[in-house]
Structure 1
Amino acid sequence: MAVVVFILHAAVFIGVTEARLAVVISPARLEAVVGGRVHPELTVLNRGEERVLVRLSLAGGGHDLDGMPLIDESREAVAAISARVRLMPEQLLLAAGEAAKVRVVVVDEEGSGGLYPVILADIAPLGEAGGAVSSRTRIAVPTLLTYASRGEKTEPELAVAGVKLEQGRAGEPLLVTALLHNTGKMHVRAGGRAVISGEFLGEETVLFPPVTILPGAMRKVTGQWAPAALPPGRYTVKVLPDGFRGGGMSAAGLEVSFDVLHPYELAQARLELVSLQTPVLVAGQRIPVQAVVANRGNIPARDAVLELLVLNSRGEEEAAYRWLMEALPPGKGQEFAGEIELANRLPGEYLLVASLWQEDEVAAILRREFRLAAEPLLAALSK
């Protein structure tokens, strides 16, 4: 799946001389109720000094755990969304100062829930390279399209998929992070709260800010907790999602426990990928690798995994290795030293990526570039 990150800009400036070419699409994010004869519109305005050619297309939309928008331009995603949504027209020729409307027509009028395509506008000055479009001159407009209700009840569903507590240093406030999972058919605007209790604490509440979550996607929400006192002991935190824009929803919470070792010091294992080494020039199919992992926390780290990937210049995987680490005491380190065998012997540029996983999350990533040399070059270097 070809997925790339895009940046939301209301305007993109293109000209080679003092940005003489400028195109604006509004709204920058299209949110609308669709169905029947209701077709939302975009306005494309050429604020520049030259005529432009604007070509419009569709792609799949999404976001990562931090809410960064994603575009899926794979053949499958484009075909799926194009079968349900059309842009009319798909091409515009705009003179300087001219504006035009683009209708977003939902073909599948009997659907339910929501649709979340990304509208892409590729822009080029008229006549430049025969009308060719430069990938540098692109505007991406995310959409939140919800089908009009026809009497059926489409209730949003949200669950808490994970809860994590962290502390930078002893005495600092604690960060409570929850992973919210939208298991429904339409997007939700939701936050939540964490209720923390303990033997010497009573109950305290941490609020999470509301975020937009697309169907099937997850988002991280974080709140800060700074109690007046935090004596040693075991505590419980229960996270409940709440706050849906436009109605109620079905929500499932999650409860976990955590320990405080000393006054205002959270018990936690904090793994760090200290170093990653491999030769810059490599001979043969076996790649020497050395990595060092350290536990900067105050309790043993268990079930951590070091994942090593070798990617070629096209981003394709050439080799992979997973190392399940032994329990690592606080203040100690472990060294991995070995070789990774490549699937081929093609000379060229490669990338070694080391990912340190702890509790099903990436704790750290390091990257190193190396070159696989051809045999004649190696022979020359050995003389």
Structure 2
Amino acid sequence: MIINSIINNRSHRIIILLIVILYLIGFKAVTVEGAGLRVSPLYIQKEVKDGEILGPVVITNNSPMDFKVRIFAVTAEHDLEGTVVIKEENKTDMLILENTDFTLKKGGQKEIYPRVNLKGIETGGIYPVLVIDALPVSENGTNVSASFRFSVLTLLTVKDPGESRGQISEVKVEQPDKGEPLTFKVLVENNSKIHRKPVGSVLVYSEGDVIDKIPLKPENILPGNMRWIKGLWKPSDLPPGSYTYKGELYLGNYKLNIPSGKFGIHEPYTLTRRNLELTRVGIPLASVKEGINYRLLVSNEGNIEDTFKGEIRIVSKKNGNTLINKRVSVPEIKPGSSSLVEDSLDASDLKTGQYVFQVVNNFNKIMESREFELLLEKPVVKLAISKFSIPNFKEGKPVKATVVFTNEGNTLLELQGMLEFKDLDGNRVGFLPLKGLKVEPGQSLEKVYTWQGGIPAGLYEGIITVIYGDKSLRKNTSFMIQP
């Protein structure tokens, strides 16, 4: 599979513009062409000895322009889908190359003969990728701000050690869309010294009887890499119900058991999709005397009516101990709908301080974790601006405003807002932001703000607006600037 993309930048520097993505298995192409360049072959698999010469890898220029060519080798790795990942920082000398930079004239051809360098490796395999970068050159000899990349993948066996090691990390049953085949996905890790191609199958059971056998498509996995091994299944008739599966894979001579699992069919040939999401959590009240009030909004993103089962936990922030736990169940949540749960927990045995509110599902997975402060009594949120004054002053002097904030409640207040100066027509002539202010319960905070604005003489109004939590407070005062 080849993906081409061309990108230009302002400085017209060389950017890699052709990204070649190779798949390890089922890769049948032996040549590829781009911008009139042709590279063959793109895939080399063989047993090798140290110093052995590979190739030739032939580069043919059928374009109307010359190309500057650079070649190098990198160590191959691949992602979970088997796509080879090429990183220049993974350069290797396991392929020795001669004449790594050259110009390929239009109509010309170049043969590359990489030499194998085993570097003391006696068993297993090596997996270098030969990378060919080609930069077009215009008729006047200047470089064109586009580059093309070709890659030649190698699977080189030094000596098959015979032994294999690996493990299965995960198994999934998926259905991209209603009516499409089910995909059985097994994530296999190859811990061998050589590439392996797992071979195996999955058995599907209904009420204890085998109803079908699904072959898994063999795919090469490089040493130290993981890859999804997949099998497609679309039976002609599959009634709604619950089904189980298990199977086995052979990684070389090493047997891997695919653990037993379950999947459901919701309606004829539609995979049951259970997906309950905790979309909102609120703690409107948390005090020793009144308890801990909470709200949970559970949404059903699946395709069957479902029941949420889980647990509410109150955990000490200091040591992580669970101090309160309560089972919670939300039945009969229809697909595409939500259900609101409002309840409270007795907090009379707790002390004031910092705690963590957790919602845990039936599989002991934490769906929500939120810190909160437990007060002695119901929180009282009340702020007063007990002083706001701006003295009269001479023109050319800065504006100085004194503000005293008083916390008349029983909880810490964090303040933000703004200080504005306006003329008699309501036009703003000055502005200062207010932020990072904290006032302890029962305490006052005095702040003096200075604005070097150069306001002309006249009568003005100072306005202060403060936001705290979901509340706000506003106060104004007049002042005069004398000529």
Match of 1:52 among 64, 67, 71: 67
Gaps of 5+ in 1: 15-21, 275-291, 304-325, 336-358, 360-378
Partner of 1:354: none
Deviations 1:337-372 (A, max 9, x none): xxxxxxxxxxxxxxxxxxxxxx9xxxxxxxxxxxxx
Deviations 1:82-131 (A, max 9, x none): 3x332223123333333222122222353132222222211134577967
Cα distance between partner residues in 2 of 1:181 and 1:12? 34
Summarize the alignment of residues 94-243 of structure 1 with structure 2, pairs less than 5 Å apart: 94-111=104-121, 112-126=123-137, 136-147=147-158, 149=159, 153-167=161-175, 174-199=182-207, 201-220=209-228, 221-226=230-235, 228-230=237-239, 232-233=241-242, 235-242=243-250
Partner of 1:39: 53
Residues 1:296 and 2:296 are matched in the alignment: no
Summarize the alignment of residues 280-295 of structure 1 with structure 2, pairs less than 5 Å apart: 295=301
1:56 is matched by which residue type in structure 2? I
Q: Structure 1's 202 and 62: CA in aligned 2 closer, same or farther, altered over 3 A?
A: same
SS at match of 1:38: coil
SS at match of 2:213: strand
Deviations 1:135-157 (A, max 9, x none): 5322122222221x2xx734343
Q: Percent identity?
A: 25
Residues 1:258 and 2:265 are matched in the alignment: no
Q: Structure 1's 54 and 128: CA in aligned 2 closer, same or farther, altered over 3 A?
A: farther
Summarize the alignment of residues 310-321 of structure 1 with structure 2, pairs less than 5 Å apart: none
Offset at residue 40 of structure 1 (A):
1.0
Contact 2:169 2:187 in 1 (8 A): yes
User: Over the residues paired in the alignment, what is the CA RMSD in angstroms?
Assistant: 4.1
Gaps of 5+ in 2: 1-17, 23-28, 280-297, 311-327, 341-362, 364-429, 434-483
Offset at residue 203 of structure 1 (A):
4.5
Deviations 1:163-202 (A, max 9, x none): 1123467776533222222221221233421012232533
Q: Structure 1's 255 and 229: CA in aligned 2 closer, same or farther, altered over 3 A?
A: same
Q: Structure 1's 176 and 333: CA in aligned 2 closer, same or farther, altered over 3 A?
A: farther
Summarize the alignment of residues 344-363 of structure 1 with structure 2, pairs less than 5 Å apart: none
SS at match of 1:145: strand
2:273 is matched by which residue type in structure 1? Q
Partner of 1:28: 42
Cα distance between partner residues in 1 of 2:39 and 2:58? 6
Q: TM-score, normalised by structure 1?
A: 0.59
Cα distance between partner residues in 1 of 2:102 and 2:34? 17
Between structures 1 and 2, the one with greater helix share:
1
Cα distance between partner residues in 1 of 2:161 and 2:82? 27
Contact 1:122 1:139 in 2 (8 A): yes
Q: Structure 1's 258 and 227: CA in aligned 2 closer, same or farther, altered over 3 A?
A: farther
1:120 is matched by which residue type in structure 2? V
SS at match of 1:226: coil
Contact 1:31 1:144 in 2 (8 A): yes
1:94 is matched by which residue type in structure 2? L
Q: Considering Cα pairs closer than 8 Å and 6+ residues apart, tell me whether 1 or 2 has the greater RCO.
A: 1
Q: Structure 1's 167 and 273: CA in aligned 2 closer, same or farther, altered over 3 A?
A: farther
Contact 1:174 1:224 in 2 (8 A): yes
Match of 1:70 among 71, 85, 101: 85
Alignment coverage as a number of residue pairs: 277
2:101 is matched by which residue type in structure 1? Q
Cα distance between partner residues in 1 of 2:143 and 2:238? 64
Partner of 2:274: 269
Offset at residue 216 of structure 1 (A):
1.8
2:117 is matched by which residue type in structure 1? V
Q: Structure 1's 56 and 170: CA in aligned 2 closer, same or farther, altered over 3 A?
A: closer
SS at match of 1:193: strand
Cα distance between partner residues in 2 of 1:263 and 1:131? 64
Deviations 1:46-89 (A, max 9, x none): 22233332110122322222222211222xx22xx23x332223
Partner of 2:404: none
Cα distance between partner residues in 2 of 1:254 and 1:125? 51
Cα distance between partner residues in 1 of 2:309 and 2:74? 41
Contact 2:127 2:154 in 1 (8 A): yes
Q: Structure 1's 87 and 266: CA in aligned 2 closer, same or farther, altered over 3 A?
A: same
Deviations 1:217-271 (A, max 9, x none): 22221321426444634x43113224x7xxx431312212215376656543247
Computing the radius of gyration from Cα coordinates, the structure with the larger value is 2
Q: TM-score, normalised by structure 2?
A: 0.48
Cα distance between partner residues in 1 of 2:113 and 2:334? 60
